Amino acid sequence: MSDMFTNATPNFSFEIFPPKGAGKLSSIFETVDALASLHPDLISVTYGAGGSSRDNTIEIASTIQKRYMLPAVAHLTCVGSTLEQTDTLLCELKEKGVRTILALRGDRRADSDYQDGYFKHASELVAHIKKHYDFHVLGACYPEKHPEAPSLEEDIRHLKEKVDAGVDALVTQLFLDNDDFYRFRDKARAAGVNVPIVAGIMPITVPVMLEKVVSMCGAKIPPAVQRFVDAYGHNAEAVREAGVAYATQQIADLLAAGVDGIHIYSMNKAGITRQIAQNIHGILYSLRVKRT
């Protein structure tokens, strides 16, 4: 099992994405500076998600590891890639000192030119990495099921295959209703998924994020979230504060329910992430003292 998920429980981590376009790398390191000062257990860097640059994932992850002495996680997708392309990236990650990969399939494109890559499912990528390399491997999971899965049960059956292929810990897709997470966690445990399940939390701090959340992953919008977005829609500061308060409440409840870890989708917004981290600091560290 990945040391970073057993050394500190509950785990606390952030996700960032590489900026689009060349020459923007310095802006992400300002964000990393601010996030690193919050002492997370790790920072993960997305790969090509939402149109962000692919090339910089390795560079950013490796710099986090070396300059900030923080464990970095590089996301890696295999959709549409050949075996050689995937191996080239894995070798580069190894050379640059990155030790943990979030192994993903990635989203299939809808256009007619699209072709599957060498690996059809993330579980195949996980098995390949575990067989040929020495990385810790994380995997993705979906409390409200993956959009392509016919049912949560079927999705969890495939999740179990992915875990059996060698996943050390799972990170969830964002969700806004903790009951969805608890239902999923119970079912996953009953199906034999016994690795840590880290909850992915995305603070809703601008109204447009709600539409993105729905189109990206089909997450359910609880009435309480819809209400504050509708009520404060034109008041940016009020939406932001209500979003921070909602995410704080979600995390406090998850910690009370014994969650293995919290992964904040920071959206590269260090100020918002700092507010939430400060709000939950007392609860998080009292739990860590008790459990370790």
Ligand X SMILES: Cc1cc2nc3c(=O)[nH]c(=O)nc-3n(C[C@H](O)[C@H](O)[C@H](O)COP(=O)(O)OP(=O)(O)OC[C@H]3O[C@@H](n4cnc5c(N)ncnc54)[C@H](O)[C@@H]3O)c2cc1C
Please check whether residue 204 is in contact with residue 243, taking contact to mean a CB–CB distance below 8 angstroms. Answer: yes
Instruction: Check 15, 59, 92, 144 and give the catalytic one.
Output: 15
- Terminal Cα-to-Cα distance of the chain (whole angstroms): 16
Cis, peptide link before residue 71, omega less than 30° from 0: no
Please report whether residue 225 would count as binding ligand X according to CB under 6 A: no
Query: Site for ligand X (CB under 6 A): which residue of 8, 89, 104, 188?
Result: 104
| Part of the chain binding ligand X (CB under 6 A), chosen from 22-30, 47-55, 220-228, 243-251 | 47-55
Residue 59 vs 241, nearer CB to ligand X: 59
Question: Of 241-270, which residues contact ligand X (CB under 6 A)?
Answer: none
| Part of the chain binding ligand X (CB under 6 A), chosen from 105-113, 127-135, 219-227, 283-291 | 105-113
Residue 217 vs 245, nearer CB to ligand X: 217
Three-state secondary-structure class, residue 100: strand
In this structure, the number of other CB atoms found within 10 A of the CB of residue 150 comes to 8
List of residues 6+ apart from 213 with CB closer than 8 A:
174, 176, 202, 204, 219, 221
The answer to whether residue 15 is catalytic is yes
Least Å distance between CB 288 and ligand X? 22
Please report whether residue 3 would count as binding ligand X according to CB under 6 A: no
Residue 20 vs 291, nearer CB to ligand X: 20
Integer Cα distance of 23 and 269 in angstroms:
19
| Part of the chain binding ligand X (CB under 6 A), chosen from 6-14, 28-36, 45-53, 275-283 | 45-53
List of residues 6+ apart from 69 with CB closer than 8 A:
none
Please report whether residue 116 would count as binding ligand X according to CB under 6 A: no
Which tokens sit at 174?
Answer: 């964002």
Question: Of 123-142, which residues contact ligand X (CB under 6 A)?
Answer: 123, 140
Q: How far is CA 192 from the centre of its chain?
A: 22
In this structure, the number of other CB atoms found within 10 A of the CB of residue 86 comes to 20
Residues that bind ligand X (CB under 6 A): 46-49, 75, 77, 102, 104-107, 121-123, 140, 146, 148-149, 155, 158, 162, 171, 173, 200
Catalytic residues: 15
